[in-house]
């Protein structure tokens, strides 16, 4: 099933096969890849296999983010269970993990970057009726940490993982990476985003 969300001047629609090479190129950019849980370079074959796996997936939705008809980023919603920790059907999930990156460099560090998050948060809280949203951020990603704070996310825990990296000599090395887990309640989201909603409304009306 194809999904489409519109609001705050942007459009989110389900990823289709013609999108996957653009997404792969964005995802493989060093500044994006280095902040992900998996920092491995993604091949065309791996990207196609990932896309094929989405056909029967009910726990996750991947969206292409567009502004004025131009693709600018990617957003993901994954249903989880805060009781079992396993993935859950998105329509029935009590908790949803959000993911977003802006691949088009012209729209990074821009207030417009908040638009897809506002749209997905509204969708999760108002239509899917989830109890809370969750996010996991690389502790060195200061921009994402500030971004989440402005949306109303609250830090709940920190943990470490071993991240494998390929060096220039093709050797594999590992490093210890700290991650921060956040949760977002609807009341905190509404309160924290009053100003940015107002600013985006002004921008749209110009």
C-alpha 130: how far from its chain's center? 17
Kindly tell me if the per-residue pLDDT of 205 is higher than 50.
no
Whole-model pTM over 0.85: yes
Residue with tokens 């989201």: 189
The closest of 119, 126, 114 to 199, measured between CA atoms, is 114
Structure tokens at 31: 């500044």
Over range 8-22, report the average pLDDT. Answer: 97
Residue pLDDT, tens place only, 134-175:
999 999 999 999 999 999 999 999 999 987 766 555 677 788
Total domains in the chain come to 1
Residue pLDDT, tens place only, 66-110:
999 999 999 999 998 655 555 668 988 999 999 999 999 999 888
Confidence of residue 123 (pLDDT cuts 50, 70, 90): very high
User: Domain of 193?
Assistant: 4-203
Average pLDDT, the chain: 91
Cα angle, residue 37 at apex, residues 108 and 43 outer, rounded to 5°: 80
Query: What CATH number is attached to the domain comprising 171?
Result: 3.40.630.30
Dist. CA 201–CA 196, nearest whole Å: 8
Dist. CA 47–CA 30, nearest whole Å: 17
The closest of 33, 36, 13, 12 to 24, measured between CA atoms, is 33
């Amino acid at each position: 099933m194809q999904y489409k969300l519109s609001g705050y001047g942007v459009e989110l629609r389900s990823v289709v096969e013609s999108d996957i090479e653009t997404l792969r190129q964005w995802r493989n950019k060093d500044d994006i890849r280095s902040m992900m849980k998996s920092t491995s370079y993604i091949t065309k074959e791996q990207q196609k296999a990932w896309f094929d796996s989405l056909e029967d997936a009910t726990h996750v939705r991947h969206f292409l983010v567009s502004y004025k008809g131009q693709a600018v980023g990617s957003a993901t919603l994954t249903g989880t269970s805060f009781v079992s920790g396993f993935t859950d059907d998105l329509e029935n999930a009590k908790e949803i993990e959000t993911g977003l990156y802006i691949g088009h460099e012209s729209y990074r560090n821009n207030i417009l970057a908040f638009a897809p998050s506002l749209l997905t948060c509204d969708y999760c809280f108002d239509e899917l009726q989830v109890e809370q949203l969750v996010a996991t951020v690389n502790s060195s990603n200061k921009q994402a940490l500030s971004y989440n704070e402005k949306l109303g996310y609250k830090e709940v825990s920190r943990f470490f993982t071993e991240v494998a990296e390929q060096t220039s000599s093709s050797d594999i090395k590992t490093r210890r990476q700290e991650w921060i887990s956040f949760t977002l309640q609807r009341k905190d989201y509404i309160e924290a985003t009053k100003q940015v909603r107002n600013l985006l409304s002004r921008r749209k009306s110009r």
